[in-house]
């Protein structure tokens, strides 16, 4: 400890040293001392919870060119490198010691080799920069849900983003004392060229589950560098699996029912599948849009938003479909835009924002003009398809009053959704918790989007929308979810939703605003206010209940013909989906719980019985009421 203290005294100013030593945590001091010796920063800044310290980081991001001030006070824009625009799945790996096994579906590397490699890339990486040491809290502070975190980075953009996305943690660390139970993150942008990471071929994001530690280097994109986001989710899933709670890729929102009733829903959707827009439904209230921790408390399942901000995809955000977010993005609030187009008036522009885009400006490719192509001849869009915004949830006028409640909110319903063009109906309730976890969560498929590297539009299996972030064997994860409600008398109802159903011509059968009706119907079902029709895979709405919701909440006449098109049960497509998903479990997931296969057998029987009675495509008007 004396050696650590001596090194910290030597490398830090007295003010920063005193800030650090005020936190009596030897493990944290060791981590910081090691990072200083490894990266050799020109200076070190220890960030407390004070507004002055956050302002220092915000100003530093502008001074070093990582963020550009825009025309509205509080707004800045950040550009990632042209080839650093999404999560790098291939180079995001778990560091596994000898004898450890996560299964072939999870990307891993030998721990000693991986640590040696990533530390070699981090060596002297901050030699000409300031190291920022920041303390944040996952979940509300002073709560059973709280996880303290320390982030080391040389990117003020990363630190600034985390100051928006997460609750302050410096004072929390003071209360935390000497406990070793916290998460650690070290990130360096690496060598820069034109203010962006140069050595993308050496981009690495390595996760050490034993040490609750994440390394990230040679990258700037938020999904690879903002440690407390999906990188911390991986650590939390592992931690939760050993402690009896759940860490999930879920929004949390309050659905407002009759007579002032609020029912809280958690929902898991892959990126760009309507997750944030569902959490922001008009007339409802938001707790969070991305990650939730769930615990059992007083005989209930309760949950919190891990974050206090949104790092959302900005494409398609416009005044009609996302009025509250659009209002925030055009108001004098603290907002970071990333990889959008900056026009001549120093204003941000993005795809499908509801107005004509400029024909030239500055974007992630540098100077841009309409028709510009990259070195491979691919057209460069004005704004990247995965361009983002980062803002505070407390700045939104639809924030829920229980956003920071340390006890969390009671979960009334859980929703799973993805991009499915031909199988799932717009909304369906599972018969029970077990079928919900298996048929809605564990059978989730979705078409790929620009949020991850690779080809778009490919139908992929995505277990509970958490496949990219799982840090435990998949079969074990399913069993943990199945068992989670065992001692809960009235577990949350589980639903599937699908906003992307198409007809044979490719036309969407759902309007973008319709999702409000699907969620409000789920709210009524949770509280036993309406009946439902029984299908082989669950329960769907009756026409008259939807017609009333469309009229009351969207001022729209809901046609019976639309109802039939949307809620026809597609037997061949359901059979095909079961076959696809079951094949994955049989061939790639060796520890799949037997109950999953048994449930698939029972559902096939129900599908076959319905097919024999009604044919391949069954109108909802031919179904009986449960």
Q: Is there a domain that residue 200 lies in?
A: yes
- Note down the domain range covering 156: 2-67+86-244
Give the pLDDT confidence of 225-254 residue by residue, as tens digits.
999 999 999 999 999 999 999 999 999 999
Residues 163 and 296 in one domain: no
* Residue 566: inside a domain: yes
Same domain membership, residue 262 and residue 236: no
Which of 195, 229, 244 represents a domain boundary (last residue)?
A: 244
Domain assignment present for 472: yes
Q: How far apart are CA 304 and CA 234, in angstroms?
A: 17
Q: List C-alpha distances in Å: 576 to 424, 447, 502, 583, 600.
A: 12, 16, 17, 11, 12
Q: Are residues 28 and 57 in the same domain?
A: yes
Residues 164 and 230 in one domain: yes
Work out the average pLDDT over 152-176. Answer: 97
Please name the residues in contact with 91: beta carbons below 8 A apart, sequence gap of 6 or more: 203, 204, 205
Rounded to 10 degrees, what is the CA torsion of 279, 282, 284, 285? 60
Confidence class of residue 106 from pLDDT cuts 50, 70 and 90?
A: confident
pLDDT surpasses 70 at 456: no
Contacts of 316 (CB under 8 A, 6+ apart): 322, 351, 352
Rounded distance between C-alpha atoms, residue 270 and residue 444, angstroms: 10
Q: Going by DSSP bridges, is the β-strand pair 147-153/183-188 parallel, antiparallel, or unpaired?
A: parallel
Cα atoms in the 13 Å half-sphere on the side-chain side of 514? 20
Number of H helices, E strands in the chain: 18, 35
- Look at residue 453 in the predicted model and tell me its pLDDT: 52
Q: Residue 13, Cβ neighbours under 10 Å: how many?
A: 13
Using CA atoms, how far apart are residues 419 and 580, in angstroms rounded to an integer? Answer: 16
* pLDDT at residue 457, rounded to an integer: 65
Q: 481-489 long-range CB contacts below 8 Å, 24 or more apart? A: 481/246, 481/437, 481/441, 481/442, 482/433, 482/434, 482/437, 482/438, 482/593, 482/595, 484/246, 484/294, 484/296, 484/301, 485/301, 485/433, 487/296, 488/296, 488/299, 488/300, 488/301, 489/299
Provide the pLDDT confidence category of residue 481 given band limits of 50, 70 and 90.
very high
Tokens of residue 285, six digits:
């209230």
What is the domain count for the chain? 2
Is 42 within a domain?
Answer: yes
Please tell me the predicted confidence (pLDDT) of residue 388: 96
- Determine what percent of the chain is predicted with pLDDT higher than 70: 98
The vertex-311 CA angle with 363 and 357, nearest 5°, equals 35
b/e for 584-601, b at 16 or more Cβ within 10 A?
bbeeebeebbeebeebbe
More confident residue, 138 or 107: 138
Q: Is 130 domain-assigned?
A: yes
Per-position b or e across 471-492, b if 16+ CB within 10 A of its CB? bbbbbbbbbbbbebbeeeeebb
pLDDT by residue (tens digit) across 203-226?
999 999 999 999 999 999 999 999
| Angstrom distance (rounded) from CA 317 to CA 300 | 35
Where residue 142 sits, what CATH number does that domain have? 3.40.449.10
Task: Please tell me whether residues 210 and 261 are part of one structural domain.
Answer: no
CATH of the domain at 551: 3.90.228.20
Residue 29, H or E segment:
helix 26-39
DSSP 3-state of 98:
coil
- Does a structural domain hold residue 345? no
Looking at the structure, tell me whether residues 120 and 208 fall in a common domain: yes
The two tokens of residue 231 are 């990188």
Chain-centroid distance of CA 330 in Å reads: 23
- Residue partners of 330: CB distance under 8 A and separation at least 6: 72
Q: Is residue 394 a part of any domain in this protein? A: no
Prediction pTM value: 0.94
Q: How confident is the model at residue 472 (pLDDT cuts 50, 70, 90)?
A: very high
pLDDT digits (tens, 9 = 90+) for 388-447: 999 999 999 999 999 999 999 999 999 999 999 999 999 999 999 999 999 999 999 988
Annotated active-site residue 273? The verdict is yes
Q: 200 Cβ partners below 8 Å, 6+ apart?
A: 81, 83, 84, 218, 219
Say if residue 61 is in the same domain as residue 97. Answer: yes
| Gap between the Cα atoms of 185 and 150, Å rounded | 6
Indicate whether 603 pLDDT > 70. Answer: yes
Query: Cα–Cα distance between 332 and 310 in angstroms, integer?
Result: 17
Same domain, 115 and 252: no
Choice among 273, 303, 355, 390 that is catalytic: 273
Instruction: Give the pLDDT confidence score for residue 277 in this predicted structure.
Output: 87
Q: What is the rounded average pLDDT for all residues in the chain?
A: 95
Co-location of 476 and 553 in the same domain: yes
334 occurs within a structural domain: no
Mean pLDDT of 312-335: 93
Clarify whether residues 162 and 255 are in a common domain.
Answer: no
Q: Could you say which of 244, 264, 283 is where a domain stops?
A: 244
pLDDT above 70 (res 516): yes
Residues 6, 61 within the same domain: yes
Beta strands 569-570 and 617-618: pairing type? antiparallel
Domain identity same for 217 and 270: no
Pick from 244, 262, 294: which residue ends a domain? Answer: 244
What per-residue confidence (pLDDT) applies to 586?
A: 95
Cβ(162)–Cβ(151) below 8 Å: yes
């Amino acid at each position: 400890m004396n050696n650590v203290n001596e090194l910290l005294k030597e490398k830090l100013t007295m003010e920063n040293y005193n800030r650090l030593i005020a936190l009596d945590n030897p493990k944290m001091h060791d981590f910081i001392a090691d990072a200083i010796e490894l990266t050799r920063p020109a200076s070190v800044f220890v960030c407390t919870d004070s507004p002055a310290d956050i302002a220092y980081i915000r100003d530093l991001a502008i001074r070093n060119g990582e963020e550009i001030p825009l025309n509205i006070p509080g707004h800045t824009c950040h550009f990632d490198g042209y080839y650093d625009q999404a999560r790098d799945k291939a180079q995001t790996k778990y560091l596994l010691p000898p004898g450890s096994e996560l299964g072939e579906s999870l990307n891993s590397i030998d721990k000693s080799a991986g640590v040696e490699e990533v530390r070699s890339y981090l060596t002297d990486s901050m030699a000409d920069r300031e190291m920022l040491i920041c303390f944040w809290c996952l979940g509300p502070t002073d709560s059973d849900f709280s996880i303290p975190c320390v982030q080391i980075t040389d990117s003020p953009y990363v630190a600034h983003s985390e100051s928006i996305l997460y609750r302050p943690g410096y004072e929390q660390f003071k209360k935390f004392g000497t406990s070793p139970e916290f998460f650690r993150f070290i990130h360096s942008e690496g060598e820069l060229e034109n203010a962006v990471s140069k050595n993308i071929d050496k981009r690495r994001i390595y996760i050490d589950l034993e040490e609750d530690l994440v390394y990230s280097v040679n990258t700037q994109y938020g999904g690879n560098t903002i440690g407390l986001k999906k990188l911390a989710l991986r650590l939390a899933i592992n931690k939760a699996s050993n402690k009896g709670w759940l860490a999930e890729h879920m929004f949390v929102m309050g659905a407002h029912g009759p007579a002032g009733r609020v029912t809280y829903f958690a929902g898991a959707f892959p990126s760009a599948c309507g997750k944030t827009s569902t959490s922001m439904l008009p007339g409802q209230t938001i707790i969070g849009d991305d990650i939730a921790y769930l615990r059992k408390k007083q005989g209930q399942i309760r949950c919190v938003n891990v974050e206090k901000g949104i790092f959302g995809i900005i494409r398609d955000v416009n005044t009609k479909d996302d009025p509250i977010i659009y209002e925030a993005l055009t108001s004098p609030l603290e907002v970071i835009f990333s990889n959008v187009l900056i026009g001549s008036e120093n204003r941000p522009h993005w795809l499908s924002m509801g107005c004509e885009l400029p024909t030239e400006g500055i974007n992630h490719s540098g100077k841009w003009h309409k028709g510009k192509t990259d070195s491979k001849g691919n057209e460069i869009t004005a704004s990247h398809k995965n361009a983002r915004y980062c803002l505070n949830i407390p700045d939104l006028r639809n924030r829920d009053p229980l956003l920071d409640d340390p006890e969390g909110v009671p979960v009334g319903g859980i929703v799973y959704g993805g991009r499915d063009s031909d199988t799932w109906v717009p909304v369906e309730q599972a018969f029970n918790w077990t079928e919900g976890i298996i048929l809605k969560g564990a059978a989730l498929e979705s078409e790929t989007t620009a949020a991850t590297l690779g080809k778009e539009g490919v139908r992929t299996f995505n277990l509970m929308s958490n496949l990219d972030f799982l840090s435990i064997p998949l079969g074990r994860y399913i069993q943990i979810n199945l068992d989670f409600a065992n001692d809960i008398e009235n577990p949350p109802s589980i639903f599937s939703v699908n906003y992307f159903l198409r007809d044979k011509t490719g036309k969407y059968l759902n309007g973008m605003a319709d999702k409000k009706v699907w969620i409000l119907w789920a709210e009524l079902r949770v509280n036993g206010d309406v009946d439902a029709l029984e299908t082989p895979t669950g329960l769907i709405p009756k026409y008259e209940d939807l017609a009333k919701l469309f009229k009351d909440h969207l001022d729209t006449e809901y046609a019976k013909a639309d109802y039939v098109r949307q809620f026809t049960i597609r037997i061949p497509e359901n059979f095909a989906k079961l076959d696809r998903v079951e094949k994955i479990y049989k061939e790639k997931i060796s520890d799949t719980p037997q109950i999953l296969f048994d449930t698939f057998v029972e559902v096939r029987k129900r599908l076959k019985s319905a097919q024999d009675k009604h044919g391949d495509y069954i109108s909802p008007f031919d179904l009986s009421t449960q």
